[in-house]
Structure 1
Amino acid sequence: MLQIGSDPKIAELPSGIRIAYQIFPGKSQIPLFCVHGLTGNLRNFEPIAKSLSKKGITVITYDLRGRGKSDKPKTEYSPKIHAQDLKELANFLGYGKIFVLSHSLGSWITLRLAEKYPGFIDKAILVDGGGELSVKRKISNLIMIQSSLARLGRNIPNKEVYLEEAKKSPILSAWNENIQDFLLYELESSGTLSPSLMPKGETRPFGPVLCSIPPFVIESELKSMGGSMTLSGIALRFLKSPIEFIRSVRENRVMPYWALDFPVLVIRALKPNFKPGDELLPNSAIRKMKEKIKDLQVLELKDKNHYECVLLEDAVRDAEIYNFLKS
């Protein structure tokens, strides 16, 4: 049943949604599913997936609905919906119990998965996400990710310009083939180009391009968590529907840590994203996790920020993940 190869495969779920996934084979009976963040894709985890696969862990990466090569329906998006997709994808591949490694928004999805399907997760790794945050901190985090949202919906002359803009971003202090592949994977052509103008053998988008993540997807995701892509959008939501806004804020104020009745490893990025103190998991969030999650380990990555903690290679991180899964 498993399909292995360099190109993503497609699983059609019972819901009708088609999800793109990739398998890095190993010998482990329980596979590790990797759940990316808000504007990520399955290429986010290549450094980790390759490292763990070599050590014998079966790793499965996939595109959330609305990203990459997965379907992008004009419907609601939320961690609960993604949790359902993950359960159906695991069942499609023949698994009744899984490990989960999730980054940023993916950590919220892991929490909702544990809440909805007790006994399904064997162990979980939450990478720089899933913390209980104050309203002030949530707004601070939203401001921090604005630069990563700026690429959505923009027509760019070509992929070379797209990559050059990314290289100039202060978010990334390093550049390598993994980061380049992650960014190229999310591109799609935004116009038509005569076949006669296409370079011979070119398979990736050529000519005018744009990021394949529709802005409406991200707006819906943030709305489900009580936010918006802009601060003005938050204010507008409150003015238009204060009751619904307050309900969504209350629902996401307290995380369902009670559902994490299995070992949990939290990986925390401590390198500033733009300025000191703007980490996505502040000390207050870690304290609450330690209070409420009964079997918790914490790994701090002092030399990596929120994005680098998954995009860059790190032998110590990968060894800690492997030891955690095998213990």
Structure 2
Amino acid sequence: MFFYSMHKYKNDMQDVYVSANGLKIHAVDWGGTGPVLLLAHGLTANAHAFDGLMAAGLKQYARVIAVDLRGRGESEAPDQGYTMAETAKDIIALMDVLQLEQVVMGGHSYGAFLSWYLAAHYPTRISKVIALDAAMRMHPNTLQMLGPALGRLGKVFGSFDAYLQLVKTAPYLHIWEEAMTSYYKADVHTAADGSVATIPNAQHMTEAATKVLAEPWADMLPQVVQPVLMVNAPGIYTMEAPLLPEANARETAALLPNVQFEIVEGNHQTMLYGEGARQIVAAIASFI
């Protein structure tokens, strides 16, 4: 069973809630024309991570649906099951409910790994793959570099404005766009007194990160025979380095049988906004 509810935003997006793989899963259906593009966000992010791509005109080229993965955004957060296999089952079940026989599967960071996993394990359901800033080997100091992003988990703030003020101090946010506000708004629960608490659970996210690293990517990626668009943003993230150096991204691209490789402006986070977003949309438009 599932239901739709329409929020009267100026962009006419729909919030979609479905029962999938035993969980309540939330997605944002932006509409649009062309093939269905299903997007999965990064490790601790949510469906609104792609609002910057929508602002850059992505729905001109595809019907875009962005999903909250289990334990993020408005989707249900079970105590366990944060593996690639279970998360992939969530996506396939979502597709079944929405009667989507096949999609272009795309993702940012963790969502890109999920896209590769789906393409390898459910090849008839995935026509093409879009992988934004992900590779088998990220920067060797990735855990330390993600410190500012992971540090927000489990914290309570007096108001959303207070939370946003902290977010804006992150070293990787050298630009700010209004589309970022909706992303961070979807990152928190708001209590009756106006205080906010981050939604992703640190234990769940640790499990998800550990499980994705344990997958045999060197063996799996050559099995992804669908066309793949890989996009890398080698701008400085933290610690005076990119989260995904171009050489590491190209190393992964070399394992894919049918790959198109693009470089865009920005870093691992800001690539989804501004000029980076416009360049990503242009690459997707020609790819799909």
TM-score by length of 1: 0.79
Post-superposition Cα deviations, 1:174-196, rounded to whole Å, max 9, x if no partner, equal 11211111111111135x53xxx
The code of the aligned residue for 2:103 comes to I
Deviation at 1:221, TM superposition (A): 0.7
Unaligned 5+ runs, structure 2: 8-12
Mapped partners of 1:255, 1:103: distance in 2: 21
Deviation at 1:56, TM superposition (A): 4.2
Alignment of 1:142 onto 2:143: yes
Mapped partners of 1:75, 1:264: distance in 2: 30
Deviation at 1:220, TM superposition (A): 1.1
Percentage of matched positions with identical amino acids: 23
Unaligned 5+ runs, structure 1: 194-205, 227-247
1:10 aligns to what? 17
Deviation at 1:41, TM superposition (A): 0.4
Post-superposition Cα deviations, 1:126-185, rounded to whole Å, max 9, x if no partner, equal 0001x222xxx5651111111100000011111111011111111111112111111111
Question: Which is higher, the Rg of structure 1 or of structure 2?
Answer: 1
Instruction: Find 1:212's aligned residue among 196, 199, 209.
Output: 199
Q: Report the number of matched residues.
A: 279
Deviation at 1:285, TM superposition (A): 3.8
The code of the aligned residue for 2:287 comes to F
Deviation at 1:47, TM superposition (A): 2.3
Instruction: Find 2:208's aligned residue among 208, 216, 221.
Output: 221
Post-superposition Cα deviations, 1:108-138, rounded to whole Å, max 9, x if no partner, equal 1112111211222111110001x222xxx56
2:236 aligns to what? 272
8 Å Cα contact 1:36/1:42 also seen in 2 = yes
The code of the aligned residue for 1:132 comes to M
1:41 aligns to what? 46
TM-score by length of 2: 0.90
Root-mean-square deviation (Å): 2.0
2:171 aligns to what? 170
Post-superposition Cα deviations, 1:65-109, rounded to whole Å, max 9, x if no partner, equal 000000001013022221111111111111111001210001111
Mapped partners of 1:268, 1:289: distance in 2: 11
8 Å Cα contact 1:118/1:259 also seen in 2 = no
Mapped partners of 2:88, 2:239: distance in 1: 33
CA, structure 1 residues 282+323, in 2 after alignment: closer, same or farther (shift >3 Å)?
closer
Mapped partners of 1:255, 1:182: distance in 2: 34
The code of the aligned residue for 1:174 comes to I
Mapped partners of 1:277, 1:297: distance in 2: 24
The 5 A counterparts of 1:9-158 are: 9-13=16-20, 15-28=21-34, 30-50=35-55, 51-53=57-59, 55-129=60-134, 131-133=135-137, 139-158=140-159
Mapped partners of 2:45, 2:232: distance in 1: 18
Question: SS where residue 156 of structure 2 aligns?
Answer: coil
Give 1 or 2: higher strand fraction. Answer: 2
Deviation at 1:255, TM superposition (A): 5.2
CA, structure 1 residues 34+89, in 2 after alignment: closer, same or farther (shift >3 Å)?
same
8 Å Cα contact 2:52/2:180 also seen in 1 = no
1:324 aligns to what? 287
2:260 aligns to what? 297
8 Å Cα contact 2:51/2:180 also seen in 1 = no
